[in-house]
Structure 1
Amino acid sequence: MLRIHFTAEDLLGVRFADGPAPLLELGLAVAMLQRRDGGPGFARRRRTLSTSGARAALAPLRQLVPPTGAGPLFLDPPSEDLDQGLEAVRSSTTALVHRELTRVTTKGGLPATTLLRHLADQDQDAWQYLERAMRTAYPDLVGTVWPRLRTGFETDLAWRARIQREHGLRGMLVGLHPGSRWRGSVLEIPADREVDVRPGGAGLVLMPSAQWTGGPLAGPYPLGTLLVYQAVTPLTLLPEPGPGPGPNGGPQDDPIAALLGRTRAAVLRLAGREPTTSQLAAELGISLASASEHARALRRAGLVTTVRSGRAVHHSRTGLGHRLLSP
């Protein structure tokens, strides 16, 4: 369980980050490549990396970032671009490096490799090797999907603003992750380990990520505690950047289709009738496997739920799915 202990000053200081952070997204991508819940999008990225120089660059980064995403804090400082972030990494204090490497090897389950020992000893060759790895991996892991990461970030902010208008700040915060709840002034978020976070009056900075599928991650931030969580629209549901369809219709005419893709938008609309997978396939003229995959992707995004009734599987819209379609 992740517990965030709020003071009145912390609640007044809740705010969103200005945008996705380049090195933070790089670390999350490294973690996602080690997980199996990223869907077909990350499966394709693994195949692409197998023939690129970025695959070799992943080796040192995997030594620092576990599948949980909780890598050392000096590896992903907040920054506006890659160069600024790498400069901050190079400027990490010896005390911070020692503390964070100790944490990821004792609590994070990472082995104390030769690279980590050399980084702790401030070996310049090791730090240059790490910087080269980050520069090499960044274009494939983050640069190619940056427009989609920013779209996911902005979509999530718009959705959270609507929730906050209707349900207040406490309602918005409890909706950041399924199963969260308030106990007095403590926000409890389901997690696989016990963590207590006390912003201490500095507030909470919210950072949605369109590629992260794990539980929320919390850590110190220059302007308060940073909370990273899965954006309401994950990367797998965001269309690839590129020219829109022609004048005969399509995503340019339908904002939901532009967000989810035409077929998934159609599945979401049909889910209001609680169709089976076979009915979805017949209605849309697609295969059963394709209908099942689209429904699965929408379910991962929290837009539909799936219930088995005998041999049939019925799909229905969630409250979030209904609200996304409402004008």
Structure 2
Amino acid sequence: MLRIHFASADIARTRVALAPDPMWEALLSMHVLQAPGGARYAGWRAEVGTRLDRRGWALTALAPPRGSSADFLTPAPQVQPAAHDVDSAIRTGIDAVRATPVDRLRADVERMAGERALPAWARRLGEGDSAVLDGICGALADYCRTALVPWWPAVDAAVGAARERHSRVLTHYGVAEFLARLPVSGGWRGDVLDVRYPRDRDLYLRGRGLLVLPSYFCLAPVTLCDPDRPPVLVLPVPEEQSDARVRSAAAAARPDRLRALFGRTRAAVLAAVTDEPTTSEVAALTGVSAAAASQHLGTLRASGLVTTRRAGCCVRHSLTALGRCLLSGEEPGRGRIGSVRPD
């Protein structure tokens, strides 16, 4: 059990993150990549597993699915980035990783080495080898481009929905009720938040407050190992908010040829229709207005790629057989066409 201890000053400084944090999403997605079984992220895992290079896989030594991960991979953001500006947020995060003091690198490496064997390059990192740190930053940038950027509309949509729900409770009911309602399976005991956790530990906020960060790739509540770092509690988004978005974004990562044919936005709209979404859900997944999404859907419908049906007070869209074949790269009765799997 993780026990987070609040003083009166911490109550006033408890807040919800304004945007998903790409560095946390990168680290936690490495956990997902290595976690066995489970259908929730199966499409993402299969897609990224075929695209990730050797350096990307090497990074997972710093972020195992069980045990301590490297705190320095998730620096505290200096400024909460705009949710849609993922490229800038990744650059800012990697710059912060590169600026990690040697003593923090050493502490991370020593902690992880006490739990498991580490590769030789990780031990050199703990000795302050700047070339190793530069290599990690380069590999992390490549990892983010491969494993995060194509899925960022899904990350943004799912985390945004969770953030809105948390913020609504915080605004309307206050901090105590907000903490009591967090999905941590422990509960709020006046000045202590009990969080289910694989280790028994206490975290004293000491007037620093708590940042609550919903995360798309988070499997269970997690915080930093170092109690002196700015306190953060990372929480999973509800499963129903991420399942369809994972599958839609997995499809959206593939059709480079469709972008040349339809344009980036219309290709993304086609990919977003894989799970019978509403028009507003398509808009959220693709980052366009509902009116623009409706216009693109109308064009795709007129082309025989999408069908629309009314479901209660809303309409839902689905792919036709032709739309599915075009999106998946399969020719009816013949198999794949124009595969974009890298060597």
TM-score, length basis structure 2: 0.66
SS in 1 for 2:50: coil
Note the alpha carbon deviations across 1:164-214, whole angstroms, 9 max, x for none.
355432222132224221233111111111121111001001110022122
State the Cα distance separating 1:230 from its structure 2 match. 0.7
* RMSD between aligned residues: 3.5
Other-structure match for 1:311: none
Farther off after superposition, 202-211 or 182-191: 182-191
- Counterpart code for 1:75: L
Aligned twin of 1:243: 269
Superposition deviation, residue 224 in structure 1: 3.7
Q: Is the 8 A contact 1:211 1:234 kept in 2?
A: no
Paired residue for 1:312? Answer: none
Aligned to 1:298: none
State the alpha-carbon separation in 2 of the partners of residues 181 and 21 from structure 1.
25
Asked if 1:99 is matched to 2:98, the reply is no
Aligned to 1:63, the other structure's residue is in SS state helix
Alignment-mate amino acid for residue 64 of structure 1: L
Unpaired runs of at least 5, structure 1:
260-265, 267-327
The change in CA–CA distance for 1:26 and 1:38 in structure 2 (over 3 A counts) is farther
Change (3 A) 1:224 1:122: closer
Q: 1:76 to 1:13 in 2, by over 3 A?
A: same
8 Å CA contact 2:16–2:167 kept in 1: the answer is no
Instruction: Please tell me whether residue 86 in structure 1 is matched to residue 57 in structure 2.
Output: no
Give the total of aligned pairs: 259
Shift of 1:228: 0.7
Q: 1:64 matched to which residue of 2?
A: 62
Residue 158 (structure 1) shift = 1.3
After superposition, give the CA deviation of every residue in 1:68-119 in whole Å (9 maximum; x if it has no partner). Answer: 484222112134422222221111111111111122232xx33232021110
The residue aligned with 1:46 is 45
Task: Please give the secondary structure, in 2, of the residue aligned with 1:164.
Answer: helix
Matched residue SS, 1:196:
strand
> Contact 1:6–1:198 at 8 Å: present in 2 too?
yes
- Give 1:106-255 correspondences, 5 Å limit: 106=114, 109-165=115-171, 167-218=173-224, 224-232=230-238, 234-238=241-245, 239-240=248-249, 242-243=268-269, 251-252=278-279
Query: Per-residue displacement from partner, 1:260-282 (whole Å, max 9, x unpaired)?
Result: xxxxxx8xxxxxxxxxxxxxxxx
For 2:23 and 2:69, locate their aligned partners in 1 and report how far apart those are by CA, in whole Å: 12
SS at match of 1:122: coil
2:303 corresponds in structure 1 to none
Shift of 1:40: 4.2
The equivalent residue for 2:16 is 16
Sequence identity of aligned pairs in percent? 24
Rate the CA distance shift 1:225–1:168 in 2: closer, same or farther, 3 A: same
Asked if 1 retains the 8 angstrom alpha-carbon contact of 2:3 and 2:195, the reply is: yes
**Match for 1:57: what amino acid?**
R
8 Å CA contact retained: 2:75, 2:97: yes
Moved more, 116-125 or 166-175: 166-175
Q: 1-side partners of 2:116 and 2:38: how far apart?
A: 21
1:2 is aligned to 2:2? yes
Name stretches of at least 5 consecutive residues in structure 2 with no aligned partner.
82-88, 253-267, 286-310, 312-343
Name the SS for the 2:3 alignment partner: strand
